[in-house]
Amino acid sequence: MREIARAGDTPAMANAIRTTGGNGDFEAVIADASPAIQGLARAARDLIAEVMPGVTEVPWATQRTVGYGVGPKKMSEHFCYLAPASRHLNLGFFYGADLPDPAGLLEGSGKALRHVKLRSPADLEAPALRELLVAASEHLPKLKRG
């Protein structure tokens, strides 16, 4: 497992994310996105690390996704993921169908997965989004939060 750091990271932020497994790195996942979506992805990543210090990050550059949780296994150890799109950033939740969502942010109709389309930095400031992340990090049916 390697500690990640990037230009502009505070020492606390550099220690808040552990990157392991996958292929490539976070920057490779967002490399083809517009500068606006790249900035949004970096800010979303920081929010995830704020909500769950010490979170494990697994980037899959070939799939253009990066997962977050307590270990490297996607469906059994992750609670959320980021996936850049051309006009938004998907913040996905592996067990989103189980989460309380009084603000109606979650989209999707699958058995478990749900996502929120983030279009601007203001979207990351919504208290309801932070509440979803907290709930997701605590509602890990197959996970042990450590």
Tens of pLDDT, residue by residue over 74-91, are: 767 899 999 999 999 999
Examine residue 38 and state whether it is found in any structural domain, yes or no. yes
Would you state the pLDDT for residue 15? Answer: 53
Instruction: Using the Cα atoms of residue 114, residue 77, residue 66 and residue 139 in order, give the sign of their dihedral.
Output: positive
> The pTM is what?
0.86
Instruction: pLDDT band for 2, please (50, 70, 90 cuts).
Output: very low
Examine residue 144 and state whether it is found in any structural domain, yes or no. no
Over 90: is that where the pLDDT of 145 sits?
A: no
- Separation of alpha carbons 136 and 117, rounded Å: 16
Over 70: is that where the pLDDT of 3 sits?
A: no
Question: By residue range, what is the domain housing residue 51?
Answer: 2-138
In this structure, the dihedral spanned by the alpha carbons of residues 81, 26, 30 and 100, taken in order and rounded to 10 degrees, is: 20
Would you state the pLDDT for residue 142? Answer: 55
Examine residue 54 and state whether it is found in any structural domain, yes or no. yes
Tens of pLDDT, residue by residue over 83-134, are: 999 999 999 999 999 999 999 999 999 899 999 999 999 999 999 999 999 9
Examine residue 39 and state whether it is found in any structural domain, yes or no. yes
Question: 66 to each of 63, 100, 102, 127, how far by Cα in Å?
Answer: 9, 23, 26, 23
Would you state the pLDDT for residue 49? Answer: 95
The single-letter code of the amino acid at 78 is H
Examine residue 143 and state whether it is found in any structural domain, yes or no. no
Q: What angle do CA 93, 49, 89 make, to 5 degrees?
A: 45
Examine residue 91 and state whether it is found in any structural domain, yes or no. yes
Examine residue 14 and state whether it is found in any structural domain, yes or no. yes
HSE at residue 65, side-chain half, CA atoms within 13 A, is 13
43 vs 1 pLDDT, higher one = 43
Over 80: is that where the pLDDT of 66 sits?
A: yes
89, 91, 139, 138: which is closest to 115 by C-alpha?
A: 91
Name the 3-class secondary structure at 14: helix
Examine residue 145 and state whether it is found in any structural domain, yes or no. no
Structurally, the chain folds into a number of domains equal to 1
Counting residues of the chain whose pLDDT is more than 70, the rounded percentage is: 84
